[in-house]
Structure 1
Amino acid sequence: MLTYSFANLNGESMYTHLYSCIKADITSGVLHAGDKLPSKRMLAKNLGISIITIENAYAQLLVEGYIYSEPKRGYYVARIEQMPGAAEPPAPREPLLHASTPAIVTSFSKSSVPPDTFPYNIWARLLRSTLSSADEHALISDTSAGGVLPLRQALAKHLYQFRGLNVSPEQIIIGAGTQSLYNLIVQLLGRSHVYALENPGYPQLAAIYKTNDVFCRYLPMDEQGIRADVLENSSADILHISPSHQFPTGIVMPVSRRYELLRWAKEKSSRYIIEDDYDCEFRLYGRPIPPLQSIDSAEKVIYINTFSKTLAPTFRISYMVLPVHLASLFYEKLGFYSCTVSNFEQFTLAKFIEDGYFERHINRMRTYYRTKRDRLLHYLATCKAAPALTVEGENSGLHFLLHLATQASDTTLTQAALAQGIQIKFLSDYYHDKTSDCSHTLLMNYTGLPDDELYPALDKLFAALEPYLEL
């Protein structure tokens, strides 16, 4: 007969304690496979506890598979595979970086948003208002795969007023970041197509398509972007581009080239263009470039944008605008999905846009970035390294290119900067097949660095690069 003490439970329930005791006897081999357990009535009498306590303990052991029951016969110990022994502790590994390698203190290769520019107070107030006044059922119920209707309505109005896109809310699909939308596009259009990407281009984009088992071709560009004849010869069906501010080159595709690409897409029903308009709000000189989708009469352009640049990188809300026929196909084929963004955030963002806060935030941030860029350009024109520096693409968006007069390889320059705790990337780092290490063209992301960090970091960077520059 099983005998256990219930003297020191330490707040544990009696049935949990009994369950633990029997389980320990089974796993340690005190009780063997096939051993019959006492009946609930007998064990209760022997231990001086209630039958309910025995029932609960047996029920837990039964559901976890430690025991089994046979009708009218009772409970038996199940056969448990031998528990594996404790693994040997892993041998200590060599550190990935040598102790002498300094930690990265400043990065000019990563895009970020200054934390103090996010409208925390406004957002918190709108969130509280959403929680107190919105339809409670709508807040906590499952939503359409495309997202909540008020946000899609607000976006449709915003796109019409500020981007010249005349689209319906039903064409807009909300997602938790552009990466999730890329995955949906692959599922919508299919994995059998060849996807064409810009080269150089955004490395994460190629990685996303690769994980989706999509075959990609990486197409070279001239000063106007991807050429239609190169695209035609690539056998691609889907073209992914950023025509208003190509990353990382900063190329702005002229309207003539845009029409050439639209003509290419129109020639076959399987062809589509994915337009990534990731920082269209921050063209710092002149009017924003109209999107390719605004001149698409054949419904061949899938438009994508994100709030990661305008609000914060961790603000994982993006959206895409599908042509009408693809929107219908989306709900037919993928409508079983739930939207990946919480209703709370969607309703709050809808209010943020509807009440004009988003427009005012964009205007404020555009002024902020323009002022920051102008100060930076002045610094580059007057610093000691100025004779070896040439700025390119400073008006297109939130990064620009800085060409260095040097004969040193990009790797040598990168390592010299890293030795000072500064991370930099060159244009050569963004080519799919890195055939050259001497672009000497530095990608400058400056938006997230406050002035008290930006200029000391630049002083340190150019001091590190000075031995290699042709001054």
Structure 2
Amino acid sequence: MLTYNLSNIGSDSLYEHLYKCIKKDIVLRKIKPGERLPSKRTFAKNLGISVITVENAYSLLMSEGFIYSLPKKGFYVADLNDVQPTKQVHQETVVLTSGHTHYLADFSSNQTESEIFPFTTWIKTMKEVLKDNQKELMINSPCGGILELRKNIATFLKEFRDMDVKPEQIIIGAGTEYLYSLIIQLLGNDIKYGLENPGYPKTAQIYKSMNVHFEYVNMDSYGIDPQELERKDIDVIHISPSHQFPTGIVMPISRRYELLGWANKVKNHYIIEDDYDSELRLGGKPLPTLQSIDVSDKVIYMNTFTKTLSSTIRMSYMVLPESLANEYYKRLSFYSCTVSNFEQYTLSKFIENGHFERHINRLRNYYQKKQEIILNAFQSSVLKNKVEIYNESAGVHFLMKIKSKKEEKEIINNAYSKGIKLNPLSKYYSNSIENNNIYVMNYSSLNSNKIEEIVEKLKQCI
């Protein structure tokens, strides 16, 4: 039986280290061509790791041609002599996946559980659209989205967030990533943008891909400090004040007014307010949005339906200040709306008939109960004195500090070997920070029936 020392794996994950060990033995002919490798389950048991780890290592080896599989027989070592010698070119392996996860718990996932999506109502609404909107479905959508949907979003924003906006200020897009690109074209890439540190990594990737000059701005316990914006000469700051990701900080009203004061000082200063999961606040009344208290047209408001409906429903929207909305229609109206008419009319009717509001209320109750189950499981276990949980009152994630002498990487690898994917806060910082053993615990896709098993396995990791 093959065996490897997995105690010192450096910066690799467990499966990467295992993959490299097997690959090395194949290249050195310690494992002969045609030799059968251990089954995933047997190998995992022998090494004291999870089946997932072995499966991922085998997948990499197969994708590079080092091993092959025979149905119902197992995995075998390929004959490398059969491969024609070619010029060595460095090429990264791209692993295609089905999107399904084999984790017992993935605390980095923002996917929505299928059982809480209102399939029956959504299907009924789609049938209504196909019956009542046949003519409209065949007419090209305006660049900002169909007017009916924008009207219903404006009504919802007024009732839920006390925002007075005109439908014409609302621009619909297939995901916030697309809307960011429109904002950059609208404001220009010759100014300096600011991003929260720590923050959502994809935003920085978008800015980099569009050659935007941006800088990370450190936060204090209240969020972004306007003095930091002044010091770094930021023109446009991107923030999520209602529930900052990943820290969970809720920006107090005093700081919100300070930021609006900063924006009002200079003509080209703007605030991009990402309100992505404000509907899911679990405790207390949400603070007013920056947009609703802005009197100088300095806030670009953004939100998405991926958190409230499904991560696979790619519909987001932004609310532009009136002056920027006029500029948008002058300069960027040649863009077609990236969301299909059918989806837009379905969502519009879903909101108009009151289904969306009822769904959010059910969702809040569902996540509230789910969070209580999780927190109670921690409090009633031996982990009670080993973990500290905070910033859990908004959205569907909280922070958890693990009190342990073990390094962050060791705990992550231990959890991974037991089918648990931990999401360290440290990875969201632009600069390297000390391993502080704080983790971002997103529980939206967690199976409530497995909470006790998850807690028991986490106990073994720390």
Would you say the 8 A contact 1:174–1:317 is kept in 2? yes
Deviation of 1:407 after TM superposition, in Å, equals 2.9
Aligned to 1:444: 441
2:400 aligns to what SS in structure 1?
Answer: strand
Aligned to 2:460, what secondary structure does the other structure show?
Answer: helix
Contact 1:280/1:289, CA 8 A, preserved across alignment: no
Deviation at 1:112? 2.0
Say whether the 8 Å CA contact 2:303–2:318 is kept in structure 1: yes
Work out which of the residue numbers 286, 289, 296 in structure 2 matches 1:288. 286
Q: CA deviation at 1:88?
A: 6.1
2:126 corresponding residue in structure 1: 127
Determine which of 219, 230, 238 is the counterpart of 1:240: 238
Distance of 2:457 and 2:260 partners within structure 1: 46
Deviation at 1:89, TM superposition (A): 8.4
TM-superposition CA deviations, 1:344-369 (whole Å, max 9, x none): 01011000000000000000010000
What code does the residue aligned with 1:364 have? R
Matching residue within 416, 423, 430 for 1:425: 423
Who is 2:191 aligned against?
193
- The alignment's C-alpha RMSD in Å is 2.1
**Alpha-carbon distance in structure 1 between the residues aligned to 2:297 and 2:349:** 30
Q: Report the CA distance shift for 1:460/1:339 in structure 2 as closer, same or farther (over 3 A).
A: same
Separation (CA, whole Å) in 2 of partners of 1:88 and 1:297:
69
1:403–1:170 CA distance, 2 compared to 1 (3 A): same
**Structure 2 spans left out of the alignment, 5+ residues:** 1-82, 96-100
Among 226, 229, 232, the residue aligned to 1:228:
226
Cα displacement (A) at 1:239 = 0.2
Q: CA deviation at 1:382?
A: 1.1
| Counterpart-to-counterpart distance in 2, 1:407 and 1:111 | 30
Q: Which of these two proteins has the greater Rg computed from alpha carbons?
A: 1
Q: SS at the partner of 2:461?
A: helix
CA distance in 2, matches of 1:166, 1:365: 25
In structure 2, relative to structure 1, the CA distance for the partners of 1:137 and 1:89 (3 Å cut) is: farther
State the match for 2:158 in structure 1.
Answer: 160
- What is the one-letter code of the residue matched to 1:194? K
| Residue 189 to residue 284, structure 1, CA distance change in 2 (3 Å) | same
2:363 to 365, 373, 381: 365
* Rounded Cα–Cα distance in structure 1 between residues aligned with 2:245 and 2:226: 19
Shift of 1:390: 0.8
Matched position secondary structure for 1:116:
helix
1:71-470 equivalences in 2 (<5 Å): 104-134=103-133, 136-436=134-434, 438-465=435-462
One-letter code aligned to 1:365: L
State whether residues 171 and 317 of structure 2, in contact with CA within 8 Å, keep that contact through their aligned partners in structure 1: yes
User: What is the number of equivalent residue pairs in this alignment?
Assistant: 373
Query: How far 1:104 sits from its partner (Å)?
Result: 4.4
What secondary structure, in the 3-state scheme, does the structure 2 residue paired with 1:157 have? helix
1:250 touches 1:400 (CA, 8 Å); kept in 2? yes
SS at match of 1:408: coil
- How far apart are residue 457 of structure 1 and its match? 2.4
Q: d(CA) in 2 for partners of 1:145 and 1:95?
A: 38
Change (3 A) 1:140 1:454: farther
**Identical aligned residues as a percent:** 46
Partner Cα distance (1:368, 1:396) in 2: 14
* Residue type at the aligned position of 1:117: I
Counterpart amino acid of 2:296?
A: A
Report deviation, 1:227.
0.6
Instruction: List per-residue Cα deviations over 1:40-72 (Å, max 9, x = no partner).
Output: xxxxxxxxxxxxxxxxxxxxxxxxxxxxxxxxx
- Partner SS state of residue 464, structure 1: coil
Counterpart CA distance in 2 for 1:463 and 1:322 is 50
Shift of 1:109: 1.4
SS state of the match for residue 406, structure 2? coil
Tell me by how many angstroms 1:273 deviates. Answer: 0.2
- 1:453 Cα shift? 3.1
Q: Offset of 1:103 from its aligned partner?
A: 6.6
Task: Give the Cα–Cα distance (whole angstroms) in 2 for the partners of residues 95 and 105 of structure 1.
Answer: 26
Q: Give the Cα separation in 1 of the matches to 2:334 and 2:361.
A: 38
Distance 1:127 1:110 in 2: 28
Alignment partners' CA distance in 2, 1:287 and 1:115 = 28
- Unaligned 5+ residue runs, structure 1? 1-86, 466-471
Residue-by-residue CA offset, 1:316-340 (whole Å, 9 max, x unaligned): 0000000000001111110001100
